[in-house]
Amino acid sequence: FFFASPGGSFDDVDDLVFAVGTGSPTLSPVPTLSPTITISPTASAHPSSAPMKSPTWAPTITLSPTTSAYPTPSTSSPTLTPTNGTELPTLSMLSPSISPTLSIFPTVSSRAPVIEATYSTTYKSPKCSMIGSGCEATASLLKSRGNLDPPEPNASNTIDDCEDGNGGVYLEDESVESISVTSINGGPLVVGTEVQIDAVVWAWNKHADTVDFWHAPLSSTITNWVLIRSVKPTKSLSLNTVSTRFVLEDEGDNAVRVVIRYSGFPLACPGGDFDDVDDLVFVVGSGGGILAATYDDTLKAPKCSSVTRACYAGPSLLKSRGTVGLGEPNAPNTIDQCEDGNEGEYLVDESIESIKVTSIDGGDLVEGANVRVEAKVWVYGYGDHADFWYAADANLPEWNFAETVNMTVEKQFDTVSTEYILPEGDLQAVRVVFRFGGNATEPCPGGFYDDVDDLAFVVKST
């Protein structure tokens, strides 16, 4: 759409202020320039959700002098002086027979290309078959909902045949118009990369409608949808771009699902008359040294079983807290069975969403190496604190205190971190305690709103 202030993540808006003279006939005659602007490709009828554009197009502005009643201009180089008195560079005058062309290209960065999805008959939904810095399913694949007029192309665009509701009218009632997944760092979609999901949705009522973001790895025959976050649109009877972020954990084919629903609760397939459910499948690479942890039934916590430069346990292993909300997978995820508090609501009160241990020098996790521990947490308020602990032996842990980080934000996700030196030991562990109030005297505080999670990992001996 055309707006003077569109506000898109990749829109560039610039102004130019200039002075207009009185048109004195004593000025040296100059040719009149008639710009012709050609922009390719043609924009879609629906805005895409923060598309990551690869530099494959360039608008061309052709300035063609128009012959006027003035005498033929001189080819000398006049000096132009603006009103502030600063002399500008001289310009060579052009005769009417010369048509210069000025090409303006977008800045080319090191970002990997964004792949445009196509409909997959295997998954029955849009899919990007190559790895890029992002994957985008535009309105040409997803616009409308079910069998509304016009109908959604290839409805229902879900890998498990979850059906859309067919109530209402297009661009009055709810619909998903586009979905994109893009890396935050501009690199390829690989294990350990934080990505942003952007969805353009049409909301009927910003108070009654909710957008749910889901993720599922497709490495098994069973699709296990994990809720990432629920977001409220900000505008009624309008297109909204809603977003969330998460970290890629699984190599191979992955899927994200966007559900816009009228009222109800967050379900992967809600089935409401006005609900639209759409999926986007994309490929995730191995990650070059970032190893995704798996749940270890012996330790009762996530574990990386081989030496790596970074070990990561994401939301599919740690999200939520205890029995709060849909419940933390394999709670409490502690190697000594330290329990979480079970009070409060998910994404209102405290929870740990992910933990990552990374060697700072980029090498493997070895004894004596300086490492950084990062935890993504949901912050309730300024009274929250993250305590970092570590143990040299994950099988018989003796917890050593590293640092406490006090929260400086509220009611949002935050990433907190600390650094320490790996002691001797071939299987070590870190613990993150995210607590409301209290103090850091105990690695198992036992508060009603406290979340405690561990991550075990193999360390190479020196």
- The predicted structure's pLDDT at residue 94: 34
Helix (H, G, I), strand (E, B) or coil at 301: strand
pLDDT in tens, 196-221: 999 999 999 999 999 999 999 997 77
- Residue 170's alpha-carbon distances to 87, 134, 206, in angstroms, are 57, 28, 17
Assign 3-state DSSP to the chain and report helix, strand, coil percentages, each to 5: 0, 40, 60
pLDDT in tens, 392-440: 999 999 999 999 999 999 998 899 999 999 999 999 999 999 999 999 9
The answer to whether residue 54 scores a pLDDT higher than 90 is: no
β-pair partners for 282 = 254
CA distance 108 to 60: 17
Q: Are 285 and 131 in contact (CB under 8 A)?
A: yes
Starting at the edge strand found earlier in the chain, the sheet holding 226-231 runs 118-120, 125-127, 276-284, 252-262, 209-217, 226-231
- The predicted structure's pLDDT at residue 102: 35
Which residues contact residue 84 at a Cβ distance below 8 angstroms, ignoring those fewer than 6 apart? Answer: none
DSSP symbols for 79-96 = PP--TT-PPPPP-----T
pLDDT in tens, 280-306: 999 999 876 788 899 999 999 999 999
pLDDT in tens, 174-191: 999 999 999 999 999 998
Q: Give the burial class of 15: count Cβ atoms within 10 A of its Cβ; 0-12 exposed, 13-18 middle, 19 or more buried.
A: exposed
Which residues contact residue 49 at a Cβ distance below 8 angstroms, ignoring those fewer than 6 apart? Answer: 136, 177, 178, 179, 180, 198, 199, 200, 241
Instruction: Spell out the alpha helix ranges (H) of 222-289.
Output: none
Return the closest-CA partner of residue 275 out of 153, 169, 199, 163.
163
CA distance 215 to 136: 15
Of 98-102, 120-124, 388-392, the least confident: 98-102
The answer to whether residue 235 scores a pLDDT higher than 50 is: yes
Q: Report the percent of the chain where pLDDT is more than 70.
A: 79
The gap from C-alpha 323 to its chain's centroid, in whole angstroms, comes to: 28
- The predicted structure's pLDDT at residue 205: 98
- The predicted structure's pLDDT at residue 55: 35
β-pair partners for 64 = 34
Confidence class of residue 345 from pLDDT cuts 50, 70 and 90? very high
Mean pLDDT of the chain: 83
User: Going by DSSP bridges, is the β-strand pair 427-436/451-458 parallel, antiparallel, or unpaired?
Assistant: antiparallel
Return the closest-CA partner of residue 106 out of 12, 7, 5, 14.
12
- The predicted structure's pLDDT at residue 59: 39
CA distance 270 to 167: 14
Of 23-32, 250-259, 379-388, 446-455, the least confident: 23-32
Q: Are 435 and 314 in contact (CB under 8 A)?
A: no
- The predicted structure's pLDDT at residue 451: 98
- Residue 231's alpha-carbon distances to 23, 199, 258, 456, in angstroms, are 56, 11, 11, 33
The pair of structure tokens assigned to 150 is 């016009």
Helix (H, G, I), strand (E, B) or coil at 395: coil
Which residues contact residue 441 at a Cβ distance below 8 angstroms, ignoring those fewer than 6 apart? Answer: none
Confidence class of residue 19 from pLDDT cuts 50, 70 and 90? confident
Q: What are phi and psi of 315, to 5 degrees?
A: -60, -30
Q: Cα-Cα-Cα-Cα dihedral of 83, 84, 86, 89, to 10°? A: -40
CA distance 261 to 211: 6
Q: What angle do CA 100, 103, 108 make, to 5 degrees?
A: 160
